[in-house]
Structures are given as structure tokens and as C-alpha cells.
């Protein structure tokens, strides 16, 4: 700080209003004057109480000795050649906890050649901020590192150390390239140089796969976010490194499962339809050959049973194909009125007149693909009738908004679901009621279709009306992962 004032009174007035602590000392370190800000830092109520005391008394022993040496050098130099000197030290006030301050020795202006000013700048906020950053940095559940402009690693947290298999002390001071496969290093240098020239928080390698180099020599898939850190000495840059190995494995496994399922269903469809057609043709030919023969009633009944079972087997193949296709998300979005959607589903579900249907819609229009949502509602309404257990009953269809979901509820007063079967009924080929028609694909198909669109379907029994309660959570607001597909 430079003060262009010529007499002692003006110096005192100027320093008296300074926002940082200041004392005027001689070569021996004796304090001749101190300002109120310094008194507050040291815990004194009156700055005058500091007069004629030694500045060294407020500093730790090692720092006090360094200040003595600096005063000798400082006063030995000509007034115009006295350079300022700064050092961060921890001081103990009279009634306060130790605090870190930056002490700066500077020439006294005007005719005070035999005096110097010692400034005390509190670093408490800076120290607290650094501690908070260090705590957050260390406790991040993701790997994090700080590098300088030379791409040298300055700091790493324990998560990154574990991700890459290095002790932290082996990484600090090393080039960032240590964590990169050789083929990426030259291109990485260019990217970092461009980032340093125009830093902005962003994801690194957007749209392409990135890998890091583990200490073992193996590569691990990662995602990296970069940001600039404000630092007084030199620019620093922080990278958040996420090991996405588990996610990649899950994505690969899901893709393989879906591919295998589709391949299986299409092969099964082709391989099963041919013999079924052959059996159906044989039954038709036998009936034609016996057209003039009076067949016993039980033989005629068996022919009918064969035809019915062939039709059911063909329907099962069609259902399997639908189940495989249900894993593909419909991208055709439209604005849908929930009330109109329920009316449409009720019409297609063919609910008997002997059933009383209650509708309670409490929600706004939603933007979604109509076909999968309408099909899901129709299937669940149809199930409420088919598995009710009585010729008449009560069904309640409601909708409410819950977070980012529109929740559709289908309640019935039927016999419900056997305890322990709440999840099993969604398994492929599991039939909730053995005495009813169907091949056990409907609920599995419904869940697969809803899940493919970011929703979920659950069931509880007994429900609100005493039977089963199915709930469809359908997203009103899509997550970004679905928008980017």
C-alpha cells in the first residue's frame, strides 16, 4: 500500500481508516502507533495499549526471528530501495483463537525513514474457504484432481487415487499424461492448450468414448468435467473424473439382452410357425377326408380342441413378438388429454355393463406417445375384469400428478392377488389366474413397454377397493438421458 502523505498526522489519519491492521515500528520492532483494525485483530480494545510494545511478541518464535532479520536488512537499505516483504503467519490474539494473517513490511512514507509500517491482513476467510474446498474435494464420491498450466498434477482426492490405483503421493507433481493412454496424449495437449486459452466449465470428450490409464496398464472408461479454479498465484484447473465401467457393462449387457431377446423371438416365430401350420393343415385334411363319416361326439370335440390349441400357440408367438418390440421406445410425442385416453382405453377393453366404473382425473394434459400409454391402460383395465373372479364388480380409474410423473391408478374389488405373487405376475408366461384365458404375456408386455418409456408399474393387494391396485408412473417430464437417445 502506498500513501503519498508528508507528515505524521496525515499518516495516522490515513491508516486509522484502513480496513486492514497497521502498526508503525522502528528498527528494534518497537510499536509507536497502531490503528483500530489491528487492535481488533489482536483482541485489544484500545489501539493505544499497543504502543511501546514489541511487534515480535505477537508472532510465533520462528516468524519473529525472521522479522528481526528482515528489519535489519530493511533499514540497512536506502529508503528508496527498501522492498516490501510479506509472509503468512499464525498469530494468537489476547482472547481469540489463533488466526492466520498475512504480514507485510513496507516503507513508511514521507520523512519517516527511521520507521516502517507493518500491515496485518486477516486470512481467516481465505483459510476457511480453502478448508471447505479441501473437505468437499476430498469427500467427493467421484475422482477429482487439480492441475496447473503446465499440466502437472497439484492435488488429487482419495476417490481418484482408488480409481487409478495410485497412492496420492505418487501422482502429485506428475504430468497429467500419466493417467492417459499413449494414443490420446498428443491430442490431449492440444485440447488443454485450447482450454487454457479460453477456459469454461464443460464436459470433456463430448460425443466420444474416453478412457483413462490404470496403474496396472488397463484402460478404464471415464467421463471428465473440467473447470477453472480461481487462484491468486497462478491459474489452476480441476477435473472431475467418473469411472463409468459399471455403467458401460450394464449398457452392454442390456444391449446384448435386448438383441438376444429379439433374435430369439424372431427365430422362434419362424421355427414354430412352420410346424404349427403343418399340424393345422393335417387337421384340416383329416376333417375333409372324414367329411362323409359320422364322427363320435368326443372325436369331434378333440378336433375342435386341437384347432383351439393351435390358435392359442400362434397367438403366443404373436405375443412374444409384441413383447420383444415393447422394449423399443416410441418417439412420436403428442399432447394427450388423460380423460380422453381413459375413455379410449375403456372402449377397447370391452368392460361389461355389469361392472361399475368410476373415473377421477386430477391432472393436466401430458406430452407422451399415445400408443404405449393407451395400450398399458387397456391391458390393466382388461385384467381387472378378467381376473376379478365375479360377473359384476367395481373398477376405479384415477390420475394424479406426483413430482415429474403422472400416476394412473386402476383399482378393483375382485379377489386380488395371492400374497407373495406381486412381482411374479409380471414374469413372462406367468398366469395370475390359471382358470382364465391367456398365455401369461400381458403383464410382462405391459411392464416392459412402460419401462422402455421411463416409467414404472407396480401392484399391491389388497388395494383401496379390496382387490388389486395397479399404478402406472408415466413421466410427464423426460430425463435428459431419454431426450438424448
| Same domain assignment for residues 379 and 453 | yes
- Mark which of 91, 122, 153 sits at the end of a domain: 122
* Domain shared by 453 and 340, yes or no: yes
Tens-place pLDDT, residues 32-52? 889 988 888 888 888 888 899
CB atoms within 10 A of CB 310: 15
Q: Can you give the residue range of the structural domain that contains 460?
A: 334-483
Q: What percent of the chain has pLDDT over 90?
A: 15
Q: Is the pLDDT of residue 483 over 50?
A: no
The mean predicted confidence, pLDDT, of the chain is: 81
> Does a structural domain hold residue 261?
yes
Cβ neighbours of residue 180 closer than 8 Å, sequence gap 6 or more = 188, 212, 213
- Give the model's pLDDT for residue 1: 43
Q: Does residue 296 sit in the same domain as residue 429?
A: no
Residue 416 forms part of a structural domain = yes
Instruction: Return the CATH number at 209.
Output: 3.30.450.20
Q: What is the pLDDT of residue 95?
A: 63
CA 121 to chain centroid, in Å, comes to 40
Which pLDDT score, from 0 to 100, does residue 4 have? 43
CATH number, position 275:
1.10.287
Instruction: Please tell me the least confidently modeled range out of 249-253, 337-341, 347-351.
Output: 249-253
Read off the pLDDT of each residue in 157-178 and give the average, rounded to a whole number.
Answer: 91
Whether 353 and 270 map to the same domain: the answer is: no
Tracing cell 479454479 back to the chain, one arrives at 229
Residue 466 is assigned to a structural domain of this protein: yes
Name the pLDDT band for 395 (thresholds 50, 70, 90): very high
Which of 103-117, 138-152, 236-250, 263-277 shows the highest mean pLDDT? 138-152
26 within 8 A of 32, measured Cβ to Cβ: yes
Residue 60 confidence (pLDDT) above 80: yes
**pLDDT over threshold 70, residue 71:** yes
Give the pLDDT mean for 11-32: 85
Q: pLDDT by residue (tens digit) across 121-146?
A: 888 788 788 888 888 888 888 899 99
- Among residues 74, 57, 80, the alpha carbon closest in space to that of 117 is found at 74
Confidence of residue 170 (pLDDT cuts 50, 70, 90): very high
- Nearest CA-CA partner of 240 in 213, 205, 215, 204: 204
Q: Which CATH number do you get for residue 376?
A: 3.30.565.10
Model confidence at 409: pLDDT above 80: yes
Q: Of 194, 217, 243, which residue sits at a domain end?
A: 243
Q: C-alpha dihedral over 307, 309, 311, 315, to 10 degrees? A: 180
228 with 266, same domain: the answer is no
**Is 348 found in the same domain as 454?**
yes
**Is residue 390 located within the same domain as residue 269?**
no
Same domain as 101, residue 153: no
**Would the pTM of this model clear 0.85, i.e. be above it?**
no
What's the mean pLDDT in 243-254?
75
Specify if 44 maps to a domain. yes
Which candidate, 148, 153, 86, 95, places its Cα nearest to that of 123?
86
Q: Mind giving me the DSSP string for 127-180?
A: HHHHHHHHHHHHH-SSEEEEEETT-BEEEE-HHHHHHHT--HHHHTTSBGGGGS
Pairing outcome for strands 334-336 and 366-368:
antiparallel
User: Going by DSSP bridges, is the β-strand pair 153-156/202-204 parallel, antiparallel, or unpaired?
Assistant: unpaired
Residue with cell 498428443: 186
Boundary of a domain, candidates 192, 220, 243: 243
The radius of gyration of the chain from alpha carbons, rounded to an integer in Å, stands at: 40
Q: Total domain count for the chain?
A: 4
The answer to whether residues 54 and 78 touch, using CB atoms and an 8 Å cutoff, is no
pLDDT at residue 166, rounded to an integer: 92
Q: Shortest CA distance to 387 belongs to which of 345, 336, 440, 334?
A: 440
Instruction: Note the pLDDT of residue 3.
Output: 43
Residues 233 and 286 in one domain: no
Amino acid at each position: 500500500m502506498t500513501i503519498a502523505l508528508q507528515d505524521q498526522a496525515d499518516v495516522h489519519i490515513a491508516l486509522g481508516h484502513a480496513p486492514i491492521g497497521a502498526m508503525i515500528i522502528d528498527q528494534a520492532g518497537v510499536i509507536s502507533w497502531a490503528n483500530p483494525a489491528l487492535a481488533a485483530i489482536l483482541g485489544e480494545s484500545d489501539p493505544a495499549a499497543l504502543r511501546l510494545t514489541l511487534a515480535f511478541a505477537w508472532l510465533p518464535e520462528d516468524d519473529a526471528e525472521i522479522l528481526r532479520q528482515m528489519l535489519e536488512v530493511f533499514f540497512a537499505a536506502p529508503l528508496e530501495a527498501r522492498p516490501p516483504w510479506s509472509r503468512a503467519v499464525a498469530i494468537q490474539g489476547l482472547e481469540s483463537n489463533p488466526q492466520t494473517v498475512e504480514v507485510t513490511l513496507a516503507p513508511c512514507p514521507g520523512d519517516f525513514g527511521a520507521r516502517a509500517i507493518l500491515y496485518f491482513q486477516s486470512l481467516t476467510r481465505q483459510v476457511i474457504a480453502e478448508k471447505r474446498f479441501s473437505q468437499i474435494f476430498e469427500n467427493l464420491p467421484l475422482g477429482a484432481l487439480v492441475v496447473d498450466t503446465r499440466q502437472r498434477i497439484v492435488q488429487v482426492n482419495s476417490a481418484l487415487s482408488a480409481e487409478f490405483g495410485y497412492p496420492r503421493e505418487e501422482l502429485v507433481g506428475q504430468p497429467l499424461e500419466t493417467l492417459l493412454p499413449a494414443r490420446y496424449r498428443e491430442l490431449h495437449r492440444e485440447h488443454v492448450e485450447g482450454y487454457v486459452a479460453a477456459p469454461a466449465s464443460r464436459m470433456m470428450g463430448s460425443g466420444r468414448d474416453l478412457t483413462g490409464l490404470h496403474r496396472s496398464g488397463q484402460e478404464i472408461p471415464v467421463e471428465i468435467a473440467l473447470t477453472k479454479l480461481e487462484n491468486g498465484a497462478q491459474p489452476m484447473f480441476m477435473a472431475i473424473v467418473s469411472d463409468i465401467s459399471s455403467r458401460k457393462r450394464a449398457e452392454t449387457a442390456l444391449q446384448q439382452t435386448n438383441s438376444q431377446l429379439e433374435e430369439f423371438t424372431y427365430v422362434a416365430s419362424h421355427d414354430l410357425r412352420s410346424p404349427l401350420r403343418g399340424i393345422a393343415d393335417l387337421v384340416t385334411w383329416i376333417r375333409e377326408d372324414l367329411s362323409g363319416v359320422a364322427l363320435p361326439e368326443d372325436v369331434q370335440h378333440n378336433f375342435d380342441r386341437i384347432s383351439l390349441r393351435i390358435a392359442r400357440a400362434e397367438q403366443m408367438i404373436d405375443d412374444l413378438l409384441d413383447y420383444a418390440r415393447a422394449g423399443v421406445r416410441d418417439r412420436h410425442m403428442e399432447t394427450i388429454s388423460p380423460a380422453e385416453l381413459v375413455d379410449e382405453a375403456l372402449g377397447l377393453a370391452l368392460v361389461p355393463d355389469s361392472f361399475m366404473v368410476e373415473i377421477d382425473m386430477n391432472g393436466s394434459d401430458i406430452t407422451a406417445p399415445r400408443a404405449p400409454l393407451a395400450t398399458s391402460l387397456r391391458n390393466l383395465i382388461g385384467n381387472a375384469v378378467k381376473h376379478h373372479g365375479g360377473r359384476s364388480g367395481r373398477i376405479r380409474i384415477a390420475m394424479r400428478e406426483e413430482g415429474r410423473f403422472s400416476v394412473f391408478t386402476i383399482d378393483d374389488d375382485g379377489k386380488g392377488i395371492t400374497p407373495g405373487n406381486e412381482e411374479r405376475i409380471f414374469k413372462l408366461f406367468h398366469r395370475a389366474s390359471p382358470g382364465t384365458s391367456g398365455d401369461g404375456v400381458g403383464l410382462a408386455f405391459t411392464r416392459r413397454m412402460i419401462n422402455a418409456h421411463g416409467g414404472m408399474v407396480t401392484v399391491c393387494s389388497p388395494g383401496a377397493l379390496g382387490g388389486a391396485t395397479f399404478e402406472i408412473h408415466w413421466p410427464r417430464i423426460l430425463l435428459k438421458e431419454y431426450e438424448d437417445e
